[in-house]
Structure 1
Amino acid sequence: MLHNDRRDDALGELARFRHELYGCLTARADALFELCDAVLCADGPVTSLVELSLAAEHRRGHGALYDGVNQGQVDVDRLRNVVVSQSIPRCFGGRIVLGIDVSNWLRPDAVTSPDRLFCHTYARGKGKAQMIPGWPYSFVAVLERGRTSWTAILDARRVGPDDEGTAVAAAQLRVVVEQLIAAGHWKDGDPRIWIVGDSGYDGPRLVFLLADLPVDLLVRLRSDRVLAFPPPPRGPATVGRTLRHGEDFTFSKPWSWPEPAHETTTETSRYGTAVARSWYRLHPRLTRRGEWAGHEGDLPIIEGTVIRLQVDRLPGDGAPTPLWLWFSGTGTDAEMVDQVWQMFLRRFDLEHTFRFLKQTLGWTKPRLRTPATADRWTWLLIAACTQLRLTRSVVEDLRRPWEKTPTTPDRLTPARVRRGFRNTRPATTLPASAPKPSRPGPGRPPGSRNTRKAPHHNPGKNTKTDTTAKDPKKQTG
Structure 2
Amino acid sequence: MISVPEARPVGAAGDLAVFRRDFYRCLTRRGDALFELADAVLCADGPVRSLPVLSLVAEHRRGHGALYDALAAGRVDVERLRSAVTSTPMPRAADGRIVLAVDVTCWLRPEAHTVPERILCHTYGRGKDQHIGVPGWPYSFVVALETGRSSWTAPLDAVRLSPGADLAAVTARQVGDVVARLLAAGHWRAGDPDIWIVMDAGYDAARLAWLLRDLPVRVLARLRSDRVLRRPTPPKLPGVLGRPRRHGGEFIFGDPASWGEPDVTTVTETRLYGTATARAWYRLHPRLTRRAAWADCPDLPILEGTLIRLDVARLPSGATAKPVWLWCSAGTGHAPAFDHPDAAMVDRLWQAFLRRFDIEHTFRLFKQTLGWTVPKLRDPHAADRWTWLTIATFTQLRLARPLAADLRRPWEQPAPPERLTPARVRRGFRHLRATTACPAGAPKPSRPGPGRPPGQPNRQPTRRYDVHTLTSNEAGKTTSKKKKSSNPRPRRTG
How many angstroms apart in 2 are the aligned matches of 1:228 and 1:9?
51
Aligned-residue offset at 1:297: 2.5
Aligned-residue offset at 1:162: 2.9
How many angstroms apart in 1 are the aligned matches of 2:215 and 2:341?
19
Contact 1:117 1:134 in 2 (8 A): yes
Contact 2:166 2:471 in 1 (8 A): no
Q: 2:399 aligns with which of 369, 390, 404?
A: 390
How many angstroms apart in 1 are the aligned matches of 2:300 and 2:386?
42
The match for 2:462 is 454
Aligned-residue offset at 1:290: 3.1
Aligned-residue offset at 1:464: 4.5
Are residues 407 and 466 of structure 1, via their aligned partners in 2, closer, same or farther at CA, if it must alter by over 3 Å?
closer
Contact 1:306 1:327 in 2 (8 A): yes
Give the TM-score taking structure 2 as reference length: 0.91
The match for 1:443 is 451
Are residues 462 and 129 of structure 1, via their aligned partners in 2, closer, same or farther at CA, if it must alter by over 3 Å?
closer
Amino acid of the structure 2 residue aligned with 1:367: K
How many angstroms apart in 1 are the aligned matches of 2:131 and 2:318?
20
Aligned-residue offset at 1:127: 2.1
Matched, 1:319 2:320: yes
Aligned-residue offset at 1:237: 1.7
Q: 1:332 aligns with which of 314, 323, 341?
A: 341
Amino acid of the structure 2 residue aligned with 1:53: S
The match for 1:358 is 367
Amino acid of the structure 2 residue aligned with 1:195: I
How many angstroms apart in 1 are the aligned matches of 2:391 and 2:460?
35
Which digits, 9 at most, give the CA deviation of each residue in 1:122-172, with x for residues without a partner? 125642220000000000000001121100000000001031111110000
Aligned-residue offset at 1:87: 0.3
What pairs with 1:203-282 in structure 2 (closer than 5 Å)?
203-282=205-284
Contact 2:166 2:472 in 1 (8 A): no
How many angstroms apart in 1 are the aligned matches of 2:301 and 2:31?
49
User: Tell me, what secondary structure is at the counterpart of 2:257?
Assistant: helix
The match for 2:154 is 152
Give unpaired runs (5+ residues) of structure 2.
1-8, 331-338, 477-492
Matched, 1:111 2:113: yes
The match for 1:407 is 415
How many angstroms apart in 2 are the aligned matches of 1:43 and 1:467?
47
User: Tell me, what secondary structure is at the counterpart of 2:22?
Assistant: helix
Aligned-residue offset at 1:462: 6.8
Amino acid of the structure 1 residue aligned with 2:112: A
Are residues 327 and 467 of structure 1, via their aligned partners in 2, closer, same or farther at CA, if it must alter by over 3 Å?
farther
Give 1 or 2: higher helix fraction: 1
Which digits, 9 at most, give the CA deviation of each residue in 1:85-143, with x for residues without a partner? 00011113210000000110000011111111010101256422200000000000000
How many angstroms apart in 2 are the aligned matches of 1:227 and 1:328?
13
How many angstroms apart in 2 are the aligned matches of 1:360 and 1:367?
16
The match for 2:383 is 374
How many angstroms apart in 1 are the aligned matches of 2:471 and 2:302?
30
Amino acid of the structure 2 residue aligned with 1:445: P
The match for 2:193 is 191
How many angstroms apart in 2 are the aligned matches of 1:218 and 1:342?
11
Are residues 47 and 339 of structure 1, via their aligned partners in 2, closer, same or farther at CA, if it must alter by over 3 Å?
same
Give the TM-score taking structure 1 as reference length: 0.95
Q: 1:422 aligns with which of 423, 426, 430?
A: 430
Amino acid of the structure 2 residue aligned with 1:421: F
The match for 1:49 is 51
The match for 1:472 is none
Contact 2:126 2:132 in 1 (8 A): no
Are residues 463 and 195 of structure 1, via their aligned partners in 2, closer, same or farther at CA, if it must alter by over 3 Å?
closer
Are residues 462 and 28 of structure 1, via their aligned partners in 2, closer, same or farther at CA, if it must alter by over 3 Å?
farther
User: Tell me, what secondary structure is at the counterpart of 2:325?
Assistant: strand
Aligned-residue offset at 1:287: 1.0
Of the structure 1 ranges 330-339 and 245-254, higher mean CA displacement relative to structure 2 is found in 330-339
Contact 1:291 1:467 in 2 (8 A): no
What pairs with 1:301-320 in structure 2 (closer than 5 Å)?
301-320=302-321
Of the structure 1 ranges 60-69 and 91-100, higher mean CA displacement relative to structure 2 is found in 91-100
Aligned-residue offset at 1:8: 6.4
Amino acid of the structure 2 residue aligned with 1:319: T
Aligned-residue offset at 1:317: 2.4
Aligned-residue offset at 1:465: 4.3
Are residues 367 and 125 of structure 1, via their aligned partners in 2, closer, same or farther at CA, if it must alter by over 3 Å?
closer
User: Tell me, what secondary structure is at the counterpart of 1:266?
Assistant: strand
How many angstroms apart in 2 are the aligned matches of 1:131 and 1:8?
48
